[in-house]
Structure 1
Amino acid sequence: MNWNVYLSGEIHTAWRQQIVEACQQAQLPVEFTSAVTDHQASDAAGDVLGEQDQAYWRDHQSAKVNALRTRTLIQNCDVAVIRFGDKYKQWNAAFDAGYCAALGKPYITLHSADLTHPLKEVDAAAMAWAQSPEQVVEVLIYTTRR
């Protein structure tokens, strides 16, 4: 079986690439999908539908266009990895975790120990909490090879 792994969350570090490369090196039967990680492209996703006078409506329009991608990819994944970084609040990642939970999609949270309290409900619904990309890879190795 090939596993479809959706990578969600923080876009300012190389955690996605670390997981992808380590899984390739381990020759795991996984394919990866992700939200758009180019911040400007994501913010402008709805601009093709017309210019908006207010920032709220531009964000609203772009959020809906982005949701076409993220909802479809989450619905089609076998497992999601949801990264919460230290520098920015990842509200979209929290939404993705909630969406996974609502769909019954298993997910792994990836964040440092200092975020354990604010993410307690998100972690409670997760199948695993990892503190490093290497731990995520180890979970994927176990899951896909057993």
Structure 2
Amino acid sequence: MNWKIYLSGEIHTNWREEIEQQVKVLDLPVEIYAPVTDHASSDDCGVSILGAEEDKFWHDHKGAKVNAIRTRTLIEKSDVVVVCFGEKYKQWNAAFDAGYASALGKSLIIMHGPDHQHALKEVDAAALAVTRTPKEVVNVLSYVIRGEL
């Protein structure tokens, strides 16, 4: 089986690349999906494709809806959804992705540092694993895919 993994969450660090590299080193049968991680492209896709908006609300609204086409499709297609909450910004979209994945019955792995433990307690409660590092995420994936420690 080729496992489909969606990597949701913060876009300001290289956690996705770390997971992808470790998955390759372990030769896990994994296909990785992700949102558009170029911040400017993600923010401006709606107005770039569908036309300018004077009001910032509608600018963001268009972009969010266009991005949701990708996000929803890839989460629905995935076997496991990994959601990373970073330290620098609040990732409301990541919390939404976690809730969406949970509502679809997807296996959910959450990754965040100890500073977010209280704020994310409900998100953590919906997860099947709560991790702090990309290495822990890969260790969980390796175990569930191969069935061995």
TM-score scaled by length of structure 1: 0.99
CA distance in 1, matches of 2:37, 2:87: 17
Q: Tell me, which stretches of 5 or more residues in structure 2 are unaligned?
A: none
Please state how far the C-alpha of 1:145 moved relative to its aligned partner: 0.5
Map of 2:83 onto structure 1: 82
Q: SS of the residue aligned with 2:87? A: coil
Answering whether residue 115 of structure 2 is matched by residue 130 of structure 1, we say no
Between the two proteins, the alignment pairs up a number of residues equal to 146
Answering whether residue 146 of structure 2 is matched by residue 139 of structure 1, we say no
Map of 1:115 onto structure 2: 116
Q: Which runs of 4+ in 1 moved over 4 A?
A: none
Deviations 1:82-122 (A, max 9, x none): 00001100011000000011111111000001111000000
Amino acid of the residue matched to residue 15 of structure 1? W
Please state how far the C-alpha of 1:50 moved relative to its aligned partner: 1.1
CA distance in 1, matches of 2:118, 2:89: 16
CA distance in 1, matches of 2:45, 2:4: 24
Q: Tell me, which stretches of 5 or more residues in structure 1 are unaligned?
A: none
TM-score scaled by length of structure 2: 0.97
Mapping 1:45-124, distance limit 5 Å: 45-47=45-47, 48-124=49-125
CA distance in 2, matches of 1:101, 1:28: 24
CA distance in 2, matches of 1:59, 1:109: 26
Instruction: Note the aligned Cα RMSD (angstroms).
Output: 0.5
Amino acid of the residue matched to residue 134 of structure 1? K
Deviations 1:61-84 (A, max 9, x none): 110000000000000000011000
Please state how far the C-alpha of 1:124 moved relative to its aligned partner: 0.1
